[in-house]
Amino acid sequence: MHNQGIGKKDLDLVEAVEWFNKAIKQDMIYSDAYYGLAVTYGELERYEEAIEIGKKYVDMVMISSRECCACQDVLPMCRE
């Protein structure tokens, strides 16, 4: 890999992108990976990708929230 002109922080962020993408491939509903990927893209100033992944994260959180609300009659712990 050509590393000239790329600082250690940027290399770490590029590696983080790779790890988050691997996590998403293994578990497509792992919302924390989407969040981390969006933040990392932002740190890399890849804003369009950050926004796209951020929207996926928000959609997943909204779906999870609705599912939890739907279970309130069944699981008392959902009411907390």
The total number of residues shown for the chain amounts to 80
For residue 26, what is the domain's CATH number?
1.25.40.10
For the entire predicted model, the pTM comes to: 0.73
> Would residue 52 count as lying in a domain?
yes
Q: Which of 55, 60, 58 is nearest to 30 (CA)?
A: 60
Give pLDDT < 50 ranges for the chain.
1-3, 74-80
> Would residue 1 count as lying in a domain?
no
Strands (E), the chain: none
> 75 by DSSP, 3-state: which?
coil
- Enumerate the H helices of the chain as residue ranges: 8-26, 31-43, 47-70
Range of the domain at 38: 8-79
